Structure 1
Amino acid sequence: MTNQDNQIKEKKRFKVPHTFVIIFYIIILATILTYLVPAGIYDRVEDPNTGRTIVDVDSFKYVERTPVNPWGMVKAIPKGMVDAASIIFFIFILGGAFEMVQSTGAIDAIVVKFINKLKNKEKLVIPLLMFLFSVLGFTIGASEEMIAFVPITIMIARGFGFDNIVGVAIASTGAAIGFAGGMLNPFTTGVAQGIAQLPLYSGAVFRTVGYVIFYIIAVWYVMRYASKIKADPNKSVLHGVKTGDEVGESDELKEIELTNRHKGVLVVFLIGLIIMIYGVMEYGWYINEISAIFLAIGIVSIFVGGKGTDDAAISFIKGAKDITMGALVVGLARTILIVMQEGQIMDSIIYSMAGMLEALPRQITAVGMFIINSVINFFIPSGSGQASTVMPIMTPLADVLGITRQTAALTVTYGDAFSNQIIPTSGALLGVLAVGKVPYDRWLKYNWKLVLYWTIAGSILVAIASTINLGPF
């Protein structure tokens, strides 16, 4: 093949658009749909038993269309930024705070020690860390919280000769495994079962079996990719993307002295994480409180580490600057939901999807519920938000179709957890990608097959649950 042929082939090769471009195309599509999809709304009422806002399943009505014009679409972008402000500023604060901690050298010192300790046992690192993060997923329903751990998991991954994708996957996919299992997850399992009036956290044995299956699939997927790029870094989906300085290959790392100041910083960091997890579990802390915890960790750490006030300011600004693009992606993606809400088409889409289920054969209705929940998750990427919106519809529908309510609750859990790993409307996903400096399009290229494998496994499990009438009812 001549050089000219190679050049022609290179020109014809499809180039994936920039992340901003992909999301903007979706915004345009959502805007067009406001002219094509009939507008409709459900009434929201407060559940007297739980105090949650839920959908009145019998209240859907079509209303006059409120299509979003081009000027309205453009105005929706700053509205999306404002609507996602808590996550955007969480990302900025976390980036700045972690840079303050990292500037003390404590994180580098402990990560290098960890890598050198396990340099001949690196095949244990990915399964072990993913298991630990999965525990956070099925207990406290960790999602946005994983953003805080990504800088550390990336440093570990880079130290073993892997790329940022592996670092992000260890934390994000690890938590998603537990989120999908959902044995004690208060945000999907808890809310869905509460609305369906099921005993809280019932069906745990079946969910645990699913969790083990999802864990095996995910660990195999991540380890296969990690082994491939360690053998040939050019096969990384991030090849050509600037992601920052790496710690280095595991066989080239030199021990960094772990000083008393480093130990002090690590103690501050550990105490902060313990306070964060306790606050999330006991007091329902969310973005604001977690942001405050990490800001405090950064400020205290930099002084314990022997740095001054100017060092604190410079480090914070550097850390926040490095993740600006990723933080803005979160706000841009939120625009998609703003457009659909202003066009009043979100409820119409949900109503139509629920109606489609009634037309499916009995044998595959449960699987249809799962697939439809996966699609709805694009529009409602919050686990508790989706459960609160969908379960009031799915519960009576399951009763009518002869499907157990436990199976219906399972479809919500799986529908939320899997697709959250690739949808651009998930603030948690875009947050970890922002901190990990992984462009969304590259993550999608890497991760879509894992979501497909999970979806196949989930469909089989849902079909089994429907066949055995997973209960108690």
Structure 2
Amino acid sequence: MDVPTTKKKKRFIPHTYAIIFAIIVLMAVLTYIVPAGEFEREVIDGKEMVIQGSYEQIEQQPVSFFEIFTALPEGMERGAQIIFYIFLVGGAFGVIRETGAIDAGIHRLVQAMGKQERFLIPVVMFVFSILGFTTGMSEESIIFVPIGIAIARALGYDALVGTAMVALGAASGFIGGMMNPFTVGVAQGIAEIPIFSGILFRSVVYIIVLTVGIIYVMSYAKKVKNNKESSIVYELEQSAAAEEKSNTNEKVIFTFRHLLVLLSLIIGVLINMYGVFKWDWFLTELAASFTLIGLLAGAFGGLGINKTFSSFVDGMKVIVFGALIVGFARTILVVMENGAIIDTMIQYLANAISHLPATLNVIGMYIFQITMNFFIPSGSGQAATTMPLMAPLSDLLGIERQVAVLAYQYGDSISNSIIPTSASLMGVLAVAKIPYEKWVKFIWKLIIYWWIIAAIALVVAVL
């Protein structure tokens, strides 16, 4: 007698690069369908602005099959400054990670707090939020999840609390994005507005987002503390008790070298802030500064010359997915420009929503960015894909480009904590051994709260 076997079907999720390439091909096809046209533009205060009412149709310029592929290296060339900026920043943080300074610093902080678990959650989330809005911590948070889980279980919580302290702390800062070089920095550069401008408004929204996140996690943690069976991952907690006990006993020693590494990072970020606002630094200067920070971290951390540079290369390997995706995304723009349809599409979008109030226009942009993030979860990749459209569209609609960047920023960042196409989220859940559906059950309400906060912030920004 044959015993029937059941195989769980894997859900097919297209690769991010495959999605972007499909968009490239689609844009090439549209160059045969969408009328070619262009706006007149003029440079005002250093920004190339679209002149309202200047759109005119021109002769059709369809993109051939082979031109689709020649557009790829051209897109890489156009995105070179951003691509190599991301590589160099990633390399610097590869060195910093290798020194173990961040691990040891967080462990030392937890030790200093002792058993004051009610203060532990907000402090840890605040620390990771700083890394979120200064370094764009996303995939990097994966390595800290086991530490967070061990701490949480030692204090009577579960794996969800430990994971949330790290992942949602970093996410709160990522949403704030005040000094995030990978999202806000890239988007503002494309939109031709000062890098990291609007920092005060973003800081206010960040504080609200972080506070709501802390309250949400603490509320769940209190429920688990009072009743272990109320844990969403109760079965996981029962099976992992012995393993987590051994992990909790591992010791991480915070050394003077770690202190020097962290100081070099903090001072370097402060110098970058000053350079952006006082010396008109842009991506080239920031990339040079981060490279210097990485080399200093290697020296202070005692890695030696060879280990420092091998760690630098390893850091660039980690970030290669997000770096090269910028070039692929820029290829979309190259195809649209070569086919002279980008201005036509901007005109269509403007006509579709121009009769609406500005507050509804920006919400439309926001929803568009949330949708795009499912398919292009890379922040820098989404910026390179959408901001060339959103910046001139905001000109036509009479909306500040800064607000268009905000719509991109919030649309990109919030859903990263729930969409299954987010590599960082799936990596975090894999390390934590938390099933995706359990995570969704835990976080869906918080995502809605954050979406609402961001929508209100956008309306306020317009008003």
What amino acid is aligned across from residue 319 of structure 1 in structure 2? G
C-alpha displacement of 1:113: 1.6
Partner of 2:278: 282
Partner of 1:241: none
Query: Aligned in 2, Cα 1:436/1:273: closer, same or farther, shift over 3 Å?
Result: farther
- Higher mean Cα deviation, 368-377 or 289-298? 368-377
Supply the distance in 1 between the matched residues of 2:4 and 2:447 (Cα, whole angstroms): 39
Supply the distance in 1 between the matched residues of 2:286 and 2:246 (Cα, whole angstroms): 33
Corresponding position: 1:258 with 2:254: yes
Partner of 1:315: 311
> Is the 1:159–1:250 Cα contact (8 Å) retained in structure 2?
no
C-alpha displacement of 1:56: 0.6
**Partner-residue secondary structure (3-state), 1:6:** coil
C-alpha displacement of 1:371: 0.2
What amino acid is aligned across from residue 394 of structure 1 in structure 2? L
Alignment of 1:366-405 (within 5 A): 366-372=359-365, 375=368, 381=383, 389-395=392-398
C-alpha displacement of 1:75: 1.5
Partner of 1:84: 79
Partner of 1:342: 338
C-alpha displacement of 1:434: 8.3
Q: What's the CA shift string for 1:44-91, capped at 9, x where partnerless?
A: 1122xx332211112111122222222111122222222222232223
Normalised to the residue count of structure 2, the TM-score between the two structures is: 0.67
Q: What's the CA shift string for 1:371-420, capped at 9, x where partnerless?
A: 0465489699379977752343223xxxxxxxxx7xx7896465333223
Query: Aligned in 2, Cα 1:117/1:73: closer, same or farther, shift over 3 Å?
Result: farther
C-alpha displacement of 1:115: 3.9
Query: Aligned in 2, Cα 1:462/1:308: closer, same or farther, shift over 3 Å?
Result: closer
Corresponding position: 1:146 with 2:135: yes
* Of 56, 62, 68, the match for 1:61: 56
Partner of 1:141: none
What amino acid is aligned across from residue 102 of structure 1 in structure 2? R
Corresponding position: 1:15 with 2:12: yes
Partner of 2:28: 31
Query: Aligned in 2, Cα 1:54/1:326: closer, same or farther, shift over 3 Å?
Result: closer
C-alpha displacement of 1:436: 11
Alignment of 1:422-441 (within 5 A): none
* Of 301, 305, 309, the match for 1:305: 301
Query: Aligned in 2, Cα 1:231/1:326: closer, same or farther, shift over 3 Å?
Result: farther
C-alpha displacement of 1:352: 1.1
Supply the distance in 2 between the matched residues of 1:65 and 1:249 (Cα, whole angstroms): 68
> Is the 1:40–1:63 Cα contact (8 Å) retained in structure 2?
yes
Identity over aligned pairs, percent: 29
Partner of 2:147: 159
Query: Aligned in 2, Cα 1:37/1:264: closer, same or farther, shift over 3 Å?
Result: same
Normalised to the residue count of structure 1, the TM-score between the two structures is: 0.66
* Of 64, 86, 103, the match for 2:98: 103
Supply the distance in 2 between the matched residues of 1:83 and 1:416 (Cα, whole angstroms): 21
> Is the 1:370–1:411 Cα contact (8 Å) retained in structure 2?
no
> Is the 1:153–1:168 Cα contact (8 Å) retained in structure 2?
yes
Supply the distance in 2 between the matched residues of 1:290 and 1:225 (Cα, whole angstroms): 40
Supply the distance in 1 between the matched residues of 2:265 and 2:249 (Cα, whole angstroms): 24
Alignment of 1:81-230 (within 5 A): 81-117=76-112, 120=117, 121-125=119-123, 127-129=125-127, 132=130, 146-147=135-136, 149-150=137-138, 153-161=141-149, 170-171=169-170, 173-177=172-176
Query: Aligned in 2, Cα 1:178/1:422: closer, same or farther, shift over 3 Å?
Result: closer
RMSD: 4.9
C-alpha displacement of 1:160: 0.4
Supply the distance in 2 between the matched residues of 1:72 and 1:356 (Cα, whole angstroms): 31
Gaps of 5+ in 1: 137-144, 180-184, 195-199, 235-247, 396-404, 425-431
Gaps of 5+ in 2: 150-158, 179-183, 225-230, 238-243, 373-380, 417-421, 430-435
> Is the 1:188–1:412 Cα contact (8 Å) retained in structure 2?
no
Partner of 2:154: none
> Is the 1:419–1:451 Cα contact (8 Å) retained in structure 2?
no
Supply the distance in 2 between the matched residues of 1:16 and 1:43 (Cα, whole angstroms): 41
> Is the 1:188–1:387 Cα contact (8 Å) retained in structure 2?
no
Supply the distance in 2 between the matched residues of 1:465 and 1:270 (Cα, whole angstroms): 30
